[in-house]
Amino acid sequence: MAACKNIVIFGATGMTGLATLAQALQAGKRRGAPRCLGTDRGCTGGAEPEGGTRCRFQSCLRHSLPLGVSAGDPLSPPRTSGYQVTVLVRDPARLPPEHRPARVVVGDVLNPPDVDKAIQGQDAVIVILGTRNDLSPTTMMSEGTRNIVAAMKAHGIRKVVVCLSAFLMWDLKKVPPRLLPVTEDHIRMHQILQESGLDCVSVMPPHIADDQPLTGDYTVTVNTSGGARVISKHDLGHFFLKCLTTSEYDGQSVYLSRNYAKV
């Protein structure tokens, strides 16, 4: 498959989104010059910011690594020639200074023009939409996904990796009642993507752990759940990026898991 150099992340300010963003940015630094992250006084706020100029302060050319990963670490993200990352966010202040992508589009996934602006010029899309701690009935994720699919088709983009829920592999009668409304919107998301005809990888993780490391070593099962019932946010982000380098999982529902050492 063609290399995916330009990518857009929807849902980049959530727990998993930030972990994925950090790894995507690091992948772009291993083979290219470090990028200004807008962290030093006098900096214009990022490499090639829209309407700005490149920062001349060499001290702010620093690397951002995922927690527990050092430069040259073999567990760093899948090797690429570097990603140019765009994110669509409602509040750019939620992006940590050390995780500044090449392009930040301020907007809402429910607003088609905002989505279209973010999609322009991309090779692939990563969707990590969520409701944080709000478990009430919602159509935000499915409506946002519908807008993303429409924009992808308008711009001729085929590759999309989406984070859903392992509950989609369960009998719905066994899903905890308090989680059913959000699960139902995940089902709507999945249906929209299945009917889209796009090259979609539906990643359906179990519990996403905030306190476990990046290992790059996890179990991948297709169209069924099994094994452990946890995956770290870092390993999940690692797999999202891996999917951009292969067509192996296109059109599949994928479950990730790993047995982590107890802390």
Residues identified as active-site = 163, 243
Q: Which residues pair with 232 in a beta bridge?
A: 209
Question: What does the alpha-carbon distance between residue 168 and residue 150 come to, in Å, rounded to a whole number?
Answer: 23
Q: How far apart are CA 244 and CA 126, in angstroms?
A: 9
Paired with 85 in beta bridges are: 7
Residues contacting residue 188 through CB under 8 Å, at least 6 positions apart:
139, 141, 142, 145
CA 31 to chain centre: 21
DSSP string, 168-205: GGS-GGGS-GGGHHHHHHHHHHHHHHHHHTSEEEEE--
Of 168, 171, 196, which is closest to residue 184 (Cα–Cα)? 168
CA distance 82 to 217: 22
Tokens of 132: 């944080």
Round to whole Å and give the CA distance between 97 and 51: 19
